[in-house]
Amino acid sequence: MNRPPFAALKFSLVLIALALAFAAAGIVWSGQQATAARLALETARGERATAQGRLAQSHEEARLVAAHLDGYRALVARGFVGPEARLAWIEAAQLANRDAGLYGLDYRLAPRQAERPEFAQGLPLGSTLMTLTLPLLVETDLPRFLAALQARAPGLMRVRGCRLTRLSDGPFQASAEPRLQAECDIAWFTLAPPGGAS
């Protein structure tokens, strides 16, 4: 029986073993690279989906802004959005008193209060209470004054309530002197603009 010549094949076998080791290392390395590439691809796809979502959201927000910009500008011009217009409210009450042909008025303005969250729906909505005291000749003077105030209102207002009292308990006499006094609570609503002071 002849033995193979290992000494002559030794160098060739070492080269084959090295080639197999390099091949195995190359397979492992390429597998790791493929896994890393798959992870990078999934991350890139996720980032792309997030970016597309943000882009779609910004397009929707731009569409909403464009659709409601004129309405918003009208609310700003009317005095609802922005700082309190206390002087304009006082002037509107005085002009309404004059338009209704009444006999003067007194007013008090309370500090601005934040509205309850269920009314404000997350917006910085506030209200300022104005208490008006005005003499009246007859009861129908009050609705005439309130209609004139509503027509002149620079902003959004709501009458919270009015109380009528007699100025004297004497018998009725026909005269041009006011015999009644009304005290009305008017709420003026304002919406603070984004990033602005109220």
- Calpha distance 129→138 (Å, rounded): 25
Q: Is the pLDDT of residue 17 over 70?
A: yes
pLDDT: is 177 or 132 the higher one?
132
The CATH code of domain 86-191 reads 3.30.70.60
The closest of 110, 182, 120, 126 to 149, measured between CA atoms, is 182
- Amino acid type, 129: L
Crossing angle of helices 86-99 and 141-152, in 10° steps, is 140
Residue 45 has pLDDT above 80, yes or no: yes
Residue, of 71 and 60, whose pLDDT is higher: 60
Weakest-pLDDT range from 125-129, 151-155, 192-196: 192-196
Average pLDDT over residues 116-138: 85
Q: How would residue 62 be classed by pLDDT, with cut points 50, 70 and 90?
A: confident
Question: What is the C-alpha R_g of the chain?
Answer: 41
- Please state the rounded mean pLDDT for residues 9-38: 86
Q: What pLDDT score was predicted for residue 95?
A: 94
**Residue 25 class from Cβ within 10 Å (0-12 exposed, 13-18 middle, 19+ buried)?**
exposed
pLDDT digit string, tens, across residues 71-123: 778 877 777 788 888 999 999 999 999 999 888 899 999 999 888 777 767 78
Looking at residue 178, its pLDDT comes to 81
Question: At 26, which amino acid appears?
Answer: G
Three-class SS of residue 194? Answer: coil
Q: How confident is the model at residue 142 (pLDDT cuts 50, 70, 90)?
A: very high
Mean pLDDT computed over every residue of the chain: 85
Tell me the domain boundaries of the chain: 10-78, 86-191
